[in-house]
Structure 1
Amino acid sequence: MDQQALAQQMLSGANAARFVSAVTDMTAALPHPDGPTIRITMTRIADGKHLQDVDIDVTNLWDLAQHAHHKADRARDTAPAPAPTSKSHLRLVGGAA
């Protein structure tokens, strides 16, 4: 195995463990006593190795999804503006009629 593949395996394992730890802490701090629970299973795609599982109630899962959605929105907002076209644009400027 080359060094890059080994580094990617180490990162995937460490990041899976960090994610599981954060989700476990979140669900312990903000438990939903009667909400259904979902198990998130992480498997490394490259070799199919099972990394971690974490159980999360649907309310905390919703919070996690909101955070991810916010990050995606921020990424879209910081994307470079499209290049200007050679088409002219008509702009209406307010004023007395």
Structure 2
Amino acid sequence: MGLTCYANGIFQILAQTKPFMTTLINLDMRHMPLTYALVSVLEGINEPSHQSKCLTVDRTIVQQLLEIIAEDSCFSRYRQDDCLEFLMYLLEKLKTECGKF
């Protein structure tokens, strides 16, 4: 899928950051496609399957999130980038979309 190596690490860290998750979950995400997709991925990371005890992140939602990120950024598939740059870009996009961070 591309982007997934460093994005996966960032998503796992954000999923375990309770104040961050609480803030995102309490937002009205009807007109926030990036925020909605990110919350869906992070919730999947936090909730393992009851049957297999493994993470249950829907690959389609992850792909949708990565496409939203890649569509208007310097981050694209199959290109090596820096995870700090990715985190800063993601937080800036959330700030712009949510207007609350």
Q: TM-score normalised to the size of structure 1? A: 0.25
**Which structure ranks higher in relative contact order (CA pairs < 8 Å, sequence separation ≥ 6)?**
2
- Return the structure number with greater helix share: 2
Q: TM-score normalised to the size of structure 2? A: 0.24
